[in-house]
Structure 1
Amino acid sequence: MAEQGARALALPEGWPAHPDPILALNRMGSFDWDLDTGLFSMDAQAHRIFDITPQEYDGRPESLAARVPGGEGTRLDALVAQAMKDGSENYGTYLRVRRRDGSLTWIHTQGHIRRDTTGRPRRIIGIVRDATEELNDSAGLQERAARDAARRQQTNVVQVTTAALAHARTVQDVIDVVKDTHGLARLGSTSLVLGLVEAGRIRLVAEGPSAASVPGTRVTRIDEPYPMSEAVRTLSPRFIESPEEFAERYPILWPHITDLNITSAAYLPLIAQARPIGGMGLLYSDRRGFTPEERDVLVALGSSIAQSLQRAMLYEQEKDLAQSLQQAMLPRTIPSVPGADIAVRYRSGYAGGSLGRDIGGDWYDLIPLPGACPGGAGRVGAVIGDVQGHDTHAAAVMGQLRIVLRAYAAEGHTPATVMARASVFLHELDTDRFATCLYAEADLSTGVLQVVRAGHIDPLVRGTDGSCRRVEIDGGLPLGLSAEFGSLEYPVCSMELDPGEALILCTDGLVEQPGADLDDGIRSVCASVTAGPDDVRELADELIGTAELRGGDDDVALLILRRRALAERQAVERIRQHVAPGDPEALTRARHTIGAAVRSLGAGERSDEIELVADELITNALMHTEGPAVVTLRVLSGPGRRLRVEVEDPSSALPRRREAGAQGVSGRGLLLVDRLTDGWGVEARGSGKCLWGEFEVPEPD
């Protein structure tokens, strides 16, 4: 009810006042001088002081030459140059100006120099005022000089505090500006308390110095008899000009602050868009009372802090919305894959301090694929990608693209087909965005990887010795562009991942560094991987931590897949033989090699069966395709010792069972394979297919 009452109060028109009309009422004009462009902007009051119309003034200091006599201009230029040279923040002086009718008048100018992080002056903001009357009256010159100094100091408070708040992006940034030692010095107060309105209550969020707040007032209701509550409830400042007034008006609070030696206080409501968002209390121990000018300055100060707080709150809301949307588009969980250690990480560009709904289209995904070996390691698709742009549309496109790419891969399409179909989908989505992507299909039982790249950066591989290398992959156009230009060919690169080796996929936010070449960035990441920990999760944390320290507004997606090495199993053995078509001697050599290899690998009683199945698969490949056949024998690590025979050929046509009939001499090949093996299947490879069969064999003596 108290909150509703505070909101129902009618506000005076134009309250709280903006700093600009406050300066104007004190016969002050303001200026803003951009030192990079040379532009010198003045408000309407400054135009009147220089007796020049906006139409006559083009924004250049040279345009004021007709108003500032040569000697005066030279003296002012020297003063400003010296202030910039010796590191001063402020300067001030009196000078004469010539009015339109030719008469000379005195003005006073005061400026605040703003510098960048390197100390280079970038802008000067300040005030000008008519000083003729005060300088013509010599009798009151000393008094007016003191009053002028006080006015300068008060104006400085607003200028310097506003300049500091201009860099605040979060609520904590605003709190840090007003509560630290420098902030208290700028405000001229002994201590400070700052509270935010939450559900009809005021919660203190800052105090300076530490322990400046009163016990029991950390959270108070708006209708309680405290000065900050009154200021928030009535939307009017509360000025307490003496200890006696404090003790009389707020007897509950006064006994708790007597040790602070408080002589006066100002409690200001923080108002944004006609509603209270908080309150601020400034307590003084070296002054009594407030002049009208001081009250005006404090009200302007409260308005500036309120605007900064509101901007910070909106920024944090935008940030939460952007991060929530991004996280909703990414996979909620990563499946556990037998035979692999997986780590994924995502860093939002908000970590770099970007403003607005600056979310990206970076994503990762891990897709379980059909065709895993029974009881052994699985087959999995690893995806990394980046949709062009940094906005909600990019995130929405990313979510749709991730889902369809996952569906195409889970259907069993070849990697090249998955990429081509995803490109067509993105092109037909009626969007002007394209996406880079890398898709790696991994058989963790054999370590074979089929990798396709669409305009994305190359993958990295970390060896068992910790060394890291870049694997250059032939690629096609980014998704969307390849469909638009009718170039949907994506070459497939085959590589092998030995047990203990890790595949590292990332987006360009991890490797790109401002002012550095992409190759240099990749070498830097390789060095970090080499020096990083062995555990994939710790390594992923370290890489993302490096990106955090470097900063930047680009998102980062990271996926690390390490093929697990089982210490209790023997190393995987492999024998590979190439068989050319139309070469009987090549087939004969392959048979002899397979026979010798099967016996050397300790296949025991199953040697004949393995040789027969291998011969059948090779013969079928040579008879029914036009290219060569590649036969591979492996001993698989994992529960139970298994020997795997693989025969690759360049045809994408899948084999099918046929009834041979009573007199048929063909059609029994797959029946034979099915009877003799403990498991068999066919896998689509980027440039063809692979038929495989597995046999349980005895452990070696």
Structure 2
Amino acid sequence: DESLPLAEAVFTQRPRFVTSLRELADTFPRLGPYVKRLELDAAAFLPLVARARSVGGLALLFRGRDEFTAEDRDLCLGLAGIVARSLQRAILFDGEREFATGLQSTMLPQHIPKFPGVEIAARYHAAGSGRQVGGDWYDVIPLPRRRIGIVVGDVEGHDTQAAAVMGQLRIALRAFAGEGHPPSTVIARASRFLAELDTDRFATCTYAQVDPATGDVRAIRAGHMEPMLRHADGRVSTPRVRGGLPLGLATEFEQEEYPETRLDLLPGEAFVLFTDGLVEHPGGDIAAGVTALTEAVRDGPVQAGAIADHLSERVSRIRPSADDVALLVLRRDLDPGTPFAPRIHQYLHPADPQGLAETRTALRGALEDWGFAAVADDVEVAAGELMVNALLHTEAGAVITLEVLPDPARRVRLWVKDRSSEFPRRRTPGEAATSGRGLLLVDAVADCWGVEPRGEGKAVWCEFTEAGPEPPGGA
């Protein structure tokens, strides 16, 4: 209402210059208590007008002034004009930012679907400066044969155009993946799609297809940050995921070949994808950011949602950030078996020289806990032979599973799974031969053994009958 002088100036768009506030209080009685307490002598009530519209008001209050000269009035009106234009720009900026963030929000998935065997969590954080919008995105895509496609990417730029391009690219990549193409084809087609858009933007991304049942992961990077892998024992590694140029640039330079990297995601392990805003900050070293992130993942919680929240809190602590952040965590459900049929899993990496010894130690410890200490030596011999055979004849590593089978007779089974489709053959080496005795040793120490095809690879198994009494509680 117009019961106060500043409101009157806003409504009428006319300034009021007053040299006696006591007299002003007679016109505006609501001012009476304040005039007496503040002991003011003069005031200028100025409307803030921008483009012929009042956007606010400005009151200047004085002590010791008894007049306003023409120069004083011009100065006050000039100040009001500057403030009005600044306020109008701020209002327009807030409106544009609200539109941009709304656009970004609608471009991202509204919910993450649930899949048996895995837990998936995703988070997005807008930049702490500028329009608070960018081209970072994530997506989770149901694929044929019960597989899952996961992607995290970043379109160049921090404006509404980056968000618009991101939305188109996300939808296109989702469509290519949903058709069942391999990762290399999906990324190559996404690059071609971006190159054909009417934009000069490029994009980076990491895309992976995951089989929750087997833990098979096929990953590709297009100029993006390498993902992280949190192992079940808390260790964090950075798998060397191969790839190519960023999307768009790869097509422009006619280099659309994207080699895949195959990884094994064991039960209890988490795959962490993220954009560079999580590790890169103005004035900081990106290598130091990656180290800090590795420590945060290693020292943080275990579940996918908890990992995502933990890393999100880290983002909030280091605000403001000049870049937005997209984060996706996929964790394969832990498969410990049951108290009567426990199970452990180990992954043997071909580049880890300590892996063989660590795996043997883990197997022996489990056997002792389960009451199979009497066959620990035999299991260790068989495991060593099968693991070495897998490392010698395959480029990737091997997954070792040890489990208790309670029926019909309580026994322990050892699995060694690799990516080679060639089945092992039992040979009779000569006396001077230095190899070829592996399966002979397995056949000698195990009660039985066999080979089964597993997807694109195989699994060699062998069983050992319990030799001692069952431990208390059936553990």
* Mapped partners of 2:398, 2:335: distance in 1: 26
* CA distances 1:361-392 after superposition (whole Å, capped 9, x unpaired): 211111122333xxxxxx32110111223333
Q: Which residue of 1 aligns with 2:12?
A: 234
How many Å apart are 1:546 and its aligned residue?
3.7
* CA distances 1:281-332 after superposition (whole Å, capped 9, x unpaired): 2344554443443333322222222222112112111211211111121111
- Choose the corresponding residue for 1:560, options 329, 340, 349: 329
How many Å apart are 1:439 and its aligned residue?
0.9
Q: Which residue of 2 aligns with 1:217?
A: none
Tell me the secondary structure at the aligned position of residue 315 of structure 1.
helix
Q: Which residue of 2 aligns with 1:131?
A: none
Q: Which residue of 2 aligns with 1:571?
A: 343
Tell me the secondary structure at the aligned position of residue 29 of structure 2.
coil
The letter for the 2-side match of 1:383 is V
Q: Which residue of 2 aligns with 1:354?
A: 130
* Mapped partners of 2:117, 2:418: distance in 1: 23
Are positions 1:402 and 2:170 aligned together? Answer: yes
Q: Which residue of 1 aligns with 2:184?
A: 416
Are positions 1:478 and 2:246 aligned together? Answer: yes
Tell me the secondary structure at the aligned position of residue 145 of structure 2.
coil
- Choose the corresponding residue for 1:303, options 81, 92, 108: 81
Count of equivalent residues: 375
* Residues 540 and 285 of structure 1, relative CA distance in 2, 3 Å threshold: farther
Q: Equivalent residues in 2 for 1:421-440 (5 A)?
A: 421-440=189-208
Are positions 1:455 and 2:223 aligned together? Answer: yes
- Choose the corresponding residue for 2:288, options 520, 535, 545: 520
* Residues 533 and 268 of structure 1, relative CA distance in 2, 3 Å threshold: farther
The letter for the 2-side match of 1:530 is R
* Residues 645 and 521 of structure 1, relative CA distance in 2, 3 Å threshold: closer
Q: Which residue of 1 aligns with 2:39?
A: 261
Tell me the secondary structure at the aligned position of residue 257 of structure 2.
coil
How many Å apart are 1:236 and its aligned residue?
1.5
* Mapped partners of 2:336, 2:457: distance in 1: 29
* Conserved? CA contact 2:421–2:453, under 8 Å: no
Question: TM-score under structure 1 normalisation?
Answer: 0.48
How many Å apart are 1:441 and its aligned residue?
1.4
Are positions 1:369 and 2:143 aligned together? Answer: yes
Are positions 1:322 and 2:100 aligned together? Answer: yes
Tell me the secondary structure at the aligned position of residue 464 of structure 1.
coil
* Mapped partners of 2:261, 2:458: distance in 1: 19
* Residues 301 and 534 of structure 1, relative CA distance in 2, 3 Å threshold: farther
Q: Which residue of 2 aligns with 1:338?
A: 116
* Mapped partners of 2:133, 2:398: distance in 1: 48
Q: Specify every segment of 5 or more residues in structure 1 that has no aligned partner in the other structure, as ranges.
A: 1-220, 373-378, 577-626, 638-642, 652-679, 684-688, 693-699
Q: Equivalent residues in 2 for 1:204-223 (5 A)?
A: 221=1
* Conserved? CA contact 2:49–2:55, under 8 Å: yes
* Conserved? CA contact 2:210–2:218, under 8 Å: yes
Tell me the secondary structure at the aligned position of residue 371 of structure 1.
helix
* Mapped partners of 2:347, 2:133: distance in 1: 49
Tell me the secondary structure at the aligned position of residue 239 of structure 1.
strand
The letter for the 2-side match of 1:491 is P
* Residues 546 and 633 of structure 1, relative CA distance in 2, 3 Å threshold: closer
Tell me the secondary structure at the aligned position of residue 46 of structure 2.
strand
- Choose the corresponding residue for 2:53, options 251, 254, 275: 275
* CA distances 1:131-182 after superposition (whole Å, capped 9, x unpaired): xxxxxxxxxxxxxxxxxxxxxxxxxxxxxxxxxxxxxxxxxxxxxxxxxxxx
* Residues 306 and 517 of structure 1, relative CA distance in 2, 3 Å threshold: same
The letter for the 2-side match of 1:369 is L
How many Å apart are 1:448 and its aligned residue?
2.1
* Mapped partners of 1:647, 1:297: distance in 2: 81
* Mapped partners of 2:403, 2:183: distance in 1: 24
* Residues 470 and 245 of structure 1, relative CA distance in 2, 3 Å threshold: same
- Choose the corresponding residue for 1:247, options 20, 25, 31: 25
* Residues 466 and 282 of structure 1, relative CA distance in 2, 3 Å threshold: farther
The letter for the 2-side match of 1:462 is R
Tell me the secondary structure at the aligned position of residue 17 of structure 2.
strand
Q: Which residue of 2 aligns with 1:487?
A: 255
* Conserved? CA contact 1:362–1:386, under 8 Å: yes
* Conserved? CA contact 1:630–1:649, under 8 Å: no
* Mapped partners of 2:6, 2:116: distance in 1: 61
* Conserved? CA contact 2:266–2:347, under 8 Å: no
* Conserved? CA contact 1:371–1:681, under 8 Å: no
* Residues 565 and 277 of structure 1, relative CA distance in 2, 3 Å threshold: same
Identical pairs, percent: 46
- Choose the corresponding residue for 1:387, options 155, 176, 200: 155
* Mapped partners of 2:399, 2:293: distance in 1: 35
How many Å apart are 1:537 and its aligned residue?
3.6
* Mapped partners of 1:398, 1:320: distance in 2: 18
More relative contact order in 1 or in 2 (CA 8 Å, sep 6+)? 2
* Residues 346 and 681 of structure 1, relative CA distance in 2, 3 Å threshold: farther
Tell me the secondary structure at the aligned position of residue 438 of structure 1.
strand
* Residues 273 and 682 of structure 1, relative CA distance in 2, 3 Å threshold: farther
* Mapped partners of 2:397, 2:206: distance in 1: 26
Question: TM-score under structure 2 normalisation?
Answer: 0.68
* Conserved? CA contact 1:460–1:470, under 8 Å: yes
Q: Specify every segment of 5 or more residues in structure 2 that has no aligned partner in the other structure, as ranges.
A: 349-393, 405-413, 423-451, 460-469
* Conserved? CA contact 2:336–2:344, under 8 Å: no
How many Å apart are 1:635 and its aligned residue?
8.4
Tell me the secondary structure at the aligned position of residue 354 of structure 1.
coil
The letter for the 1-side match of 2:130 is S
* Residues 431 and 246 of structure 1, relative CA distance in 2, 3 Å threshold: closer
CA RMSD of aligned residues (A): 3.7
How many Å apart are 1:564 and its aligned residue?
2.4
* Conserved? CA contact 1:628–1:650, under 8 Å: no
* Mapped partners of 1:259, 1:329: distance in 2: 55
